[in-house]
Amino acid sequence: MTAYVSVELRRQVREDAGAWCGYCLSAEALTGSPLTIEHIVPIAAGGPSVRDNLWLACHRCNEFKSTQTHALDPDSGEPAPLFNPRTQIWREHFAWSPDGARILGLTPTGRATVQALQLNNEHIVQARRFWVEAGRHPPRQ
């Protein structure tokens, strides 16, 4: 299911988010692919296409998130809400591994999001290694 998001609303969300995926912090300029408009609360779960429910996400994060709003915290096995890039601060829930290639979940929300959105899938970890070598990663958050 898709929803119409006006050009002006897309502009506003892009301005709010910058050119970064709200989940994995991949820079649009580094991925070579435009970021997508993502519904924080998915349309399938009744999420509206309004500014407060929209953010930018890379294609992979948006695809892995799908219709999820919660996932299991791998440490406790308990359900936890997924990270909300519009209302939560990234560095309170995540940190970069010492080599800058992996995202570490610091809270139940962070850990659940890392696992559910596969934020350390082999493809993005390899890309991050290249970005680190080039001095373009990790972003300061």
> Tens of pLDDT along 103-128?
999 999 999 999 999 999 999 999 99
Query: What is the residue range of 63's domain?
Result: 7-133
The pTM assigned to this predicted structure is 0.93
Side-chain-facing half-sphere of 114: CA atoms under 13 Å: 21
Q: How many domains does the chain have?
A: 1
The pLDDT of residue 31: 87
Q: Answer whether residue 141 is part of any domain.
A: no
Token digits of residue 85: 């890039």
H and E: helices and strands count for the chain = 6, 6
Q: Answer whether residue 88 is part of any domain.
A: yes
Q: In sequence order, what DSSP letters do the residues of 122-133 get, joined into one string?
A: HHHHHHHHHHHH
Q: Answer whether residue 84 is part of any domain.
A: yes
pLDDT digits (tens, 9 = 90+) for 28-83: 998 888 999 999 999 999 999 999 999 999 999 999 999 999 999 999 999 999 99
Q: Answer whether residue 15 is part of any domain.
A: yes
Q: Answer whether residue 14 is part of any domain.
A: yes
Q: Answer whether residue 139 is part of any domain.
A: no
Q: SS3 breakdown of the chain: % helix, strand, coil, rounded to 5?
A: 40, 15, 45
Q: Answer whether residue 31 is part of any domain.
A: yes
Q: Answer whether residue 138 is part of any domain.
A: no
